[in-house]
Structure formats: C-alpha cells, structure tokens
Amino acid sequence: MKQHPVRHLISLDDLADADLREVVERGAQYASGGVGRPLEGLVAGIYFVKTSTRTRTAFSTAMLRLGGAIVGYGPGDLQTNTGETNEDSGRVLSRMLDLLVARTAGDPAEMRQWARQSRMAVVNAMSADEHPTQALADLTTLTLHFGKVEGLRLLYVGEGNNTAAALALALSRYPGVELYLRTPPGYGLSASVLERSRRQGARSGAVVLERHDMDATALPKDVDAIYTTRWQTTGTAKPDPNWRHVFAPFQVTEALWEHSPRAVFLHDLPAHRGEEVTEGVLDGPLSIAFDQAENKLHSAMAVLEWCRADRWQGAGSGEVPSPARAGRT
C-alpha cells in the first residue's frame, strides 16, 4: 500500500517556527471563507477520553468541511482497555485511518506510542501537560483581531495549566511579544515549560515573566489582551482542599482594565461566571472569548491540513484578513 507523508502534532515542539506561523495564518485564512476540500477521501478518528464541547466539535466539523470523513471513539471503545498496547493500537488504526485526533488529559507518551508508524498523523487535542491546538486557536484569534502576533503584550491570570503552558510555548516564538503570567502560589507553570519558553524568547526577542501574586502595583499596564481559564482543568484534581482560597485573588474582574482600558478578553472556555471571571468581563464589550471558540474550528482545519504534508496548500495563497475589530473600545 502506498504510504503518504504525515506530520504529528503532539507538542508545539513538533512545529518549526515557520510551521507555527503558517498554521496560524492558514487558520486566519479559513476564518475568512473560501474553504476547499484538500482532505477529500481521507478519514480521521476522533478519540476523546475526556469531555469536550469545543475541541471535539471543532475537529469533527473541520474534517467534514475539508471533504473528509470521521470515526468517533469514546473512552471505552478501544481495546487498550483490555490490554492491547498503544503501539499495536496505533499500528492497526494507521492501516484504516489517515489521522487520529485524541484527547487523553494524561501522559502525552501515549500519543507518542500511537505515532510510531508512518501512515497516520496523530494530533494532541489535550494532554495533561499541554494543549497545543488551543494555543494555535488563540494565536489565530490574535491574528484576526490585531492583524499580527508580533509585539503584542498579554496578561494571563490563573492556573499554570496545559492551556497556559501551550500559550507560553507558542507566544515565546514571536518577536517582541511580552507575556506576563500571574499564577497562584503552587499552581504555576512547570520548570520545564518556563525554561523552554524563556530559551525560545531569548532567541526570538519575546519575554515571558511569571509571578505568584496580584499586587496591583506590579501588574503590567496597557496590555493588548487579558486571558484566563477555568480553575478546574478537565481531567485534573487539586490535592489542597483549600485551593479556592488560594485562587480567589486571581479572579479576573473589571478592575484589571483600569490600566489596560483597550485590552480584549480571552478565555478558552468553558467559563464559570463568578469564579475565574466575572459576568461583566466575560459578557462585556471587550470579550472576544466566543470568537476565540469559533476560531478553534478554523485552526483545526489548518492543523488537519498541515498534518497531511501531501495535501498541505500552505498559507501563501492568500493574505491574512485585516483586523476584525481593531480600534474597538
């Protein structure tokens, strides 16, 4: 059987700088319309062990819109539950599927084992340590709104979870970006993510800084975007029974806009109003969280196309749309 070139996306480390930019730009192009059928005749497996509204729907819809077909799997459907090795499952699935999009919320090593074959691309739709496709959707959203990612200044408030990790690993590739993270004590980014982000920033000219307090005098001013995530990350539990007390000062409220009045608000959703964010912020005029959710579809289309190198049409065939709401106050 003829084998086609495939590319895995299990971590943002799997993307070279040029690939990262092309996938983001391609997602922005898909957001402007003109969808073709580059994946016609291909089949993607959609395997989600953990719950998902946006990511599962985005990748399923993306595959269909690109002309492909999907096979869905739930947490109890694969024979890994009865002892089959991940390597064997990957070898079998690769002889029937062209792509596999998986959310395990566990160790990404499982996905690496599935990827030990050359027929089927494997996409990480969220593991415990990183949510790479969320970061690509976030960068697509920033590109659509501001017309660029370079030089933007962002404030992230909340847990240093897999979304925050992916955001730091992605933004640190862009020149002039400043990412300020305010994470609760004991719930920050891992040392590995911080080191990788800062190493990339030293190369690109980006800055990634993390603190574990909400001292108003130390908060950055005039940021372009303020970002938070839910306090209870899918598939995880906090060992400290008093964790809410530790998290309480890190709620995103309207007060954060006193020094950044034009900042847009980002949230990867689902949101819990009154916990990590107030209703006034999430549903306010500067929130683009639901546009961000829609962009998961456009970004997923770009990811699926990129994973099939033989079908990749790149981002050079059109211009990135002009900022959708630039200058909005």
The phi, psi pair for 100, rounded to 5°, reads -135, 120
For residue 6, is it within any domain? no
For residue 18, is it within any domain? yes
For residue 209, is it within any domain? yes
pLDDT confidence bin for 329, thresholds 50/70/90: very low
For residue 321, is it within any domain? no
Same domain as 84, residue 53: yes
CATH number at residue 71: 3.40.50.1370
CA distances in angstroms from 97 to 92, 131, 219, 289, listed in the order given: 9, 23, 48, 33
pLDDT at 4: 59
Same domain as 159, residue 122: no
Same domain as 243, residue 106: no
Same domain as 137, residue 113: no
Q: What percent of the chain has pLDDT over 90?
A: 83
Q: Does the pLDDT of residue 272 top 60, yes or no? A: yes
pLDDT at 316: 59
Instruction: Tell me how far apart the 2 most distant CA atoms of the chain are, in Å.
Output: 64
Same domain as 96, residue 29: yes
Q: Does the pLDDT of residue 20 top 50, yes or no? A: yes
Same domain as 139, residue 126: no
- The bridge status of strand 99-103 relative to strand 69-73 is unpaired
Same domain as 286, residue 138: yes
Q: Does the pLDDT of residue 248 top 90, yes or no? A: yes
Same domain as 30, residue 100: yes
Same domain as 148, residue 86: no
Alpha-carbon Rg for the chain in angstroms: 19
pLDDT at 1: 44
User: Which residue segment(s) compose the domain that 209 sits in?
Assistant: 133-291
The pLDDT tens digits of the residues spanning 189-231 come to 999 999 999 999 999 999 999 999 999 999 999 999 999 999 9
Same domain as 179, residue 105: no
In angstroms, the first-to-last Cα distance of the chain is: 57
Among 115-119, 140-144, 232-236, 238-242, the range scoring the smallest mean pLDDT is: 232-236
Burial call 73-108: b when 16+ CB within 10 Å, e when fewer: eeeeebeeeeeeebeebbeebbeebbbbbbbbbeeb
Q: What is the mean pLDDT of the chain?
A: 93
pLDDT at 328: 31
The pLDDT tens digits of the residues spanning 27-79 come to 999 999 878 899 999 999 999 998 999 999 999 999 999 999 999 998 988 88
The stretch 115-143 carries a mean pLDDT of 96
CA distance 274 to 252: 9
Q: Does the pLDDT of residue 322 top 80, yes or no? A: no
pLDDT at 79: 86
The pLDDT tens digits of the residues spanning 278-315 come to 999 999 999 999 999 999 999 999 999 999 999 999 86
Q: Does the pLDDT of residue 255 top 90, yes or no? A: yes
Same domain as 157, residue 102: no
For residue 3, is it within any domain? no
Q: How many domains does the chain have?
A: 2
The pLDDT tens digits of the residues spanning 154-196 come to 999 999 999 999 999 999 999 999 999 999 999 999 999 999 9
pLDDT at 18: 96
For residue 220, is it within any domain? yes
Same domain as 186, residue 42: no
